[in-house]
Chain A
Amino acid sequence: QQQVKQSPQSLIVQKGGISIINCAYENTAFDYFPWYQQFPGKGPALLIAIRPDVSEKKEGRFTISFNKSAKQFSLHIMDSQPGDSATYFCASPGQAGTALIFGKGTTLSVSS
């Protein structure tokens, strides 16, 4: 069964610091790697995604870095804010005709 390994499980960062979450994936036939953000009691929402003909994608304070040879990608949150406190999920494609495979999530707490 294909898996996506996400780490760390939880993360505490000071306000203004950098939050880094890592994911490792298995072989995929198609490159598309999204990150989702989920607040308590809500459904996940797409935060940022990369279709890697590039190795990095930046949107505001959020950056995805992608290392195809290592089969790894990571989310960097710069200048972390208390409002960023949420659970973050990475995902990778499954086999052709199947759904995205999600990591187990990282709970981020940003202290003020």
Chain B
Amino acid sequence: DGGITQSPKYLFRKEGQNVTLSCEQNLNHDAMYWYRQDPGQGLRLIYYSQIVNDFQKGDIAEGYSVSREKKESFPLTVTSAQKNPTAFYLCASSSRTSDYLTDTQYFGPGTRLTVL
């Protein structure tokens, strides 16, 4: 089955710890994205990557870091610098048909992070 997998589904973190959320896709998509979802806030873009070894900050990148060493993988690290990390995190991917990342974005099932 083709798709996007995120792990773990639930993650608990103590204050001051870094945690890494996994995102893997087997859709052969060039572009990958990380979003944060809070109640009433919609989907806010954290980072996105159009190709391997390249990524750009989104609207709320502070306190987060990413890497894109493989086409299939785009892990997100929530650092201790992120002051309010409790949220639902969504990974997505899309193919690139042009300079516009406007092809359909496919989302993973999400990871719910809770800071204790």
Contact = CB atoms under 8 A, between A and B. Distances in A.
Q: Indicate whether A and B interact.
A: yes
Interface of A: 1, 6, 9, 29-30, 32, 34, 36, 41-46, 49, 89, 93-94, 96-100, 102-105
21 contacts: A32-B100, A34-B104, A34-B105, A41-B110, A41-B112, A43-B109, A43-B110, A44-B43, A44-B90, A45-B107, A89-B43, A97-B50, A98-B48, A98-B56, A98-B101, A99-B31, A99-B33, A100-B101, A100-B102, A102-B42, A104-B42
Contacts of B99: 96-97
A1 to B, nearest CB: 7
A99 B48 contact: yes
Nearest to A44: B107
A32 B43 contact: no
Contact of A102 (B43, B101, B102, B104): B43
Interface residues of B, number: 29
Contacts of A6: 42
Contacts of A32: 100, 102
A43 B91 CA distance: 9
Given A89-B43, A102-B42, A43 B108 contact: yes
Nearest to B108: A43
B16 interface: no
